Chains A and B, each alone.
Chain A
Amino acid sequence: MKLLVIEDDKTTLEYIKKGFVEQGNIVDTAENGPDGLFFATSNSYDLVVLDRMLPKMDGLALLSAMRAANIKTPVIILSALGHVDERIKGLQAGGDDYLTKPFSFQELYIRASILVERHRTSSHKNGLATELTIDNLVMDLVGHKVVRDGKELTIQPKEFQLLRYLLEHQGQVISRTLLFESVWDYHFDPKTNVIDVHVAKLRKKLEENGQPQLIHTVRGAGYVVRTI
């Protein structure tokens, strides 16, 4: 994918650029607001990573200008301001996600991939899936049922949502905070191992009767659903 990173701190900029390039993406960079806006309006990108505080032009002003110019590219806002109201301001200005500095590149990458994916599917308008499958597991989204190897599993509503989110992003690493935000729809880092406990419970149900593992832990990053 093709990205634009607008960030004035060189260390952070290099770090983000390097990370995305290593994953085989094309990255354009800008170090101030006006340059960033110029790039964003003159080229087509899959994603913009935008620092909240930029020289010459505030990140949110840039974002508003972008949206005013009818550029719908998904934007992840990076900010040292982690407070709830700042997050709300960022999302109101047209941001699609908000990440507080310092962040791990893994977290940024996971969120970037998911945003790009979501943007693509929504623009293609595939229609809503009624069923998700992996291996011998079938998830019936209409009937709220999970069947593995022909046997229906007893699954709690939140576990259902967890599994659904993981299955919708098969093969993608999902971080704990992202999982928490998507399933519970609250924005903060619960700090405890609470998500791990939920995933462990779900995993145990999925692996009943010696079924092979589907949810895998990625050290320092999160979880991924894949066969083997």
Chain B
Amino acid sequence: MWLERFKVFTRTSIWRFTLIFTLIVLLICSSILALVYQFTVGEQKRQIATQVTIAAQGFSDLSHSPSMTKADFQTAIQQRIDRSGAIILVLKNDDNVIGNLSSLPKNLAKFPSLQHFPIAVVNHLGETTVEIVLGTNLETRFGSLSIALFDNNYQVLESRFITASVGALLFALIVTLISGFLLNQRVLSRVKQIGELTANVKAGRLKSRLPISSKQDEFDMIADQINQMLDEIDDLINSVAQVTDNVAHDLRTPLSRIRISVEDSLTAFDENSADAQWRIALLDEIDQIIDTFNAMLELSRLEKGVPKSTFKTVNIETLCEDVIDLATPLAEEKNQKLTLNITIDEESSLSRLKGEPNLLFRAIFNVVDNAIKYTQAAGNIALTCHISSQQTDIVVCDNGPGIAKEHYDAVFRRLYQVDSSRQGDGFGLGLPIVKAIVELHGGSISMSSSNPGLTVSITLKH
């Protein structure tokens, strides 16, 4: 899970931006450090190199002087050693070795190139330490002269500088990464909010809105825009619903007057006469129209929300049994097998569901009735009800033809027909009402395939 989260995290554009930004910061830091290095450590390094070069050049010139003898040259060297303890001079020829260093590295760089090398030094306390010196080897006619200068200051300075630089760079790296991470988290959480909102809206919860902070940043601006957009959509949908409601409501009164007149005229005829027959057929048609209008009005009402004060404890076990009792003869007519399976985790969970029993009964019966209607003769329909402490799951599963996946969401919309050939077979308001009832109870409804067949799952939270 953490790995998955990390993967998601590293895929974000903010993370890439953070990495690039870190790289830039490191580059800038490095160049500043390089510059500082040049002006401090580099300078010192150059100074020592210059001193070594000057000394070497001096001895070179001295050795080239025609009046110079070997003894004089050796004396000059000795004098120089005496004058300054910081210089190391070793003259080595076939006869002897003079100077202040007992052993020299072989293959020392030839002048004018310089080389660092370690030497062992006994200090005034008698301890032997290793010191780094910068030196060169000069071939003179009096022998091979090695010249070196202690370079300790530079060494210490350089190592300190490197430690400090690495520390500074690491610190910069950590700080930028951490701040990038925190920034990323913040941005990601805002983006996630937008993602959750669009998912909610897609699932039909048009009332969801984005929170807007007081900072008025770019995300707040986007959130505000999205909220306004959703308000507009919501208004449009509401006004359409309002218009259909008004039409349904306004047509109901004249329709009921027509119904009254037709029913009234019926009394004048014998029940089996042709005059009565067509009037009865007409009444059926009028009743169907009225039913559709009522269903539309009821749907709007349910979607607006019924006061929760009418809710009471629902014994879902009995309710499911009642649904099966009512539906069994319908299934028997088609030779179908209708089964009920109730599982209860704990006996105490039974009293946890709050709701309106008439509405819940209607919703579950509607789903079962649909399953019976659309499943072929001799098919199977199973109603399962699982009651746990947290929720009640009601699943209606059939082995009928099912419906195509792309209709799963759409069948819950008003007046939607899965198959145009099914027109007139119901009004496409049954499932929207079921959904409205389930959502009124804070539950959710979904469809899936039962391979073959359709599974409708209703989850009601306790």
Contacts and interface: CB of A to CB of B under 8 A. Distances in A.
B329 interface: yes
Contacts of A184: 322, 325-326, 361
Interface residues of A, number: 36
B298 interface: yes
A191 B266 CA distance: 23
A171 B110 CA distance: 134
A94 B294 CA distance: 25
Given A22-B267, A88-B310, A190-B365, A198 B329 contact: yes
Interface in B244-272: 249, 252-253, 255-257, 259-260, 263-264, 266-267, 271
Contacts of A194: 326-327, 329-330, 369
A80 B260 contact: no
Given A188-B358, A190-B326, A197-B329, A12 B365 contact: no
A192 B266 CA distance: 24
B257 A11 contact: yes
Contacts of A88: 310
Given A82-B294, A197-B329, A219 B365 contact: no
A186 B252 contact: no
A80 B252 contact: yes
A191 B325 CA distance: 16
Nearest to A22: B267
A18 B302 CA distance: 36
A207 B253 CA distance: 43
Interface stretch (A29-37, A99-107, A132-140): A99-107
A144 interface: no
Contacts of A186: 322, 357-358, 361-362
Contact of A197 (B330, B357, B362): B330
B306 interface: yes
B307 interface: yes
A102 B358 contact: no
Contact of A191 (B256, B291, B298, B326): B291
Given A12-B260, A158-B325, A220-B280, A192 B369 contact: yes
Contacts of A187: 358
Chain B residues touching A, majority SS: helix
A156 B255 CA distance: 40
A100 B297 CA distance: 13
A105 B264 CA distance: 9
A157 B326 CA distance: 11
Nearest to A198: B329
B359 interface: yes
A190 B329 CA distance: 14
A105 B263 CA distance: 8
B237 to A, nearest CB: 21
Interface in B318-332: 322, 325-327, 329-330, 332
A102 B306 contact: no
B333 A85 contact: no
Contacts of B267: 22
A85 B322 CA distance: 22
Interface string A1-13: 0000000010110
Contacts of A158: 325-326
Interface string B85-125: 00000000000000000000000000000000000000000
B231 interface: no
Contacts of A106: 263
Contact of A84 (B257, B306, B327, B332): B306
A72 B204 CA distance: 48
B336 to A, nearest CB: 13
A78 to B, nearest CB: 11
Closest 8 CB pairs of A and B: A102-B256, A197-B329, A15-B260, A186-B361, A85-B310, A85-B306, A188-B362, A187-B358
A102 B280 contact: no
21 contacts: A12-B256, A12-B260, A15-B260, A80-B249, A80-B252, A83-B302, A84-B306, A84-B310, A100-B294, A101-B252, A102-B255, A102-B256, A105-B260, A105-B264, A187-B358, A190-B369, A192-B369, A194-B326, A197-B330, A200-B329, A220-B263
A154 B329 CA distance: 15
Contacts of A85: 306-307, 309-310, 356
B298 A220 contact: no
Contacts of A102: 252, 255-256, 259-260, 290
Nearest to A196: B329
B283 interface: yes
B306 A83 contact: yes
Q: Which of A158, A186, A197 has the largest count of B CB atoms less than 10 A from its CB?
A: A186
Contacts of B326: 158, 184, 190, 194, 198
B301 interface: yes
Contacts of B283: 104, 220
A118 interface: no
Nearest to B260: A15
B245 to A, nearest CB: 12
